[in-house]
Amino acid sequence: MTNITFTMIKPDAVSNGYIGPILAKINEAGFRIVAMKYFHLEPEKAAEFYAVHKERPFYNDLVKYMSSGPIVAAILEKENAVEDFRTLIGATDPSKAAPGTIRNLFAKSIDANAIHGSDSDANAGIEGSFFFSQMERF
């Protein structure tokens, strides 16, 4: 088990003004920010990042959506990071997310679901390295 996970605050949450409240929840839950950047994810980069979902019916909409406005990407550190972060953000579909979770509080639909969290230690490593070099980690 590693102690890092990767997250993105998605375009809906950014445009709705939720960067601050979401970072506060992450902070209160005891995660340390290892790396962070605010930027526009180009469609080509989004397509590459989500290549694992290429055969899924929602792939094209997902790529379009994730490149529709700025996002915040970050690497977070905490003991049991992947599992604890997924508990903090709640179910992928916000209508099924437990009360008080980030998606329950800040997301409106399964497509625009406010935040991403890695689903395994292996993916946390791959996803973090997709966006951040070693030099950008603190």
Q: Which is nearer to ligand CMP, 108 or 134 (CB)?
A: 108
Catalytic residue selected from 101, 116, 124, 127: 116
Residue with tokens 């995660």: 31
| CA–CA dist 68, 21 (Å, integer) | 21
> Stretches 14-22, 24-32, 34-42, 110-118: which one binds ligand CMP (CB under 6 A)?
110-118
Q: Restricting to residues 19-58, which ones interact with ligand CMP according to CB under 6 A? A: 58
Binding mask 58-97 for ligand CMP (x = CB under 6 A): x---x-----------------------------x-----
**Cα–Cα dist 101/88, whole Å:** 5
Token pair 């997902």: residue: 62
- Choice between 118 and 132, CB closer to ligand CMP: 118
Q: Is 113 in the site for ligand CMP (CB under 6 A)?
A: yes
Sign of CA dihedral 113, 106, 33, 29: negative
Alpha-carbon distance 107 to 127, whole Å? 22
Torsion sign over Cα 84, 34, 130, 94: positive
Distance CA 12, CA 24 (A): 17
116 flagged as catalytic? yes
Q: Which stretch binds ligand CMP (CB under 6 A): 31-39, 69-77, 96-104, 105-113?
A: 105-113
Of 36 and 62, nearer to ligand CMP (C-beta) is 62
In which residue are the tokens 């055969």 written? Answer: 55
By annotation, the residues acting in catalysis are 116
Q: Footprint of ligand CMP on this chain (CB under 6 A)? A: 58, 62, 92, 110-111, 113, 116
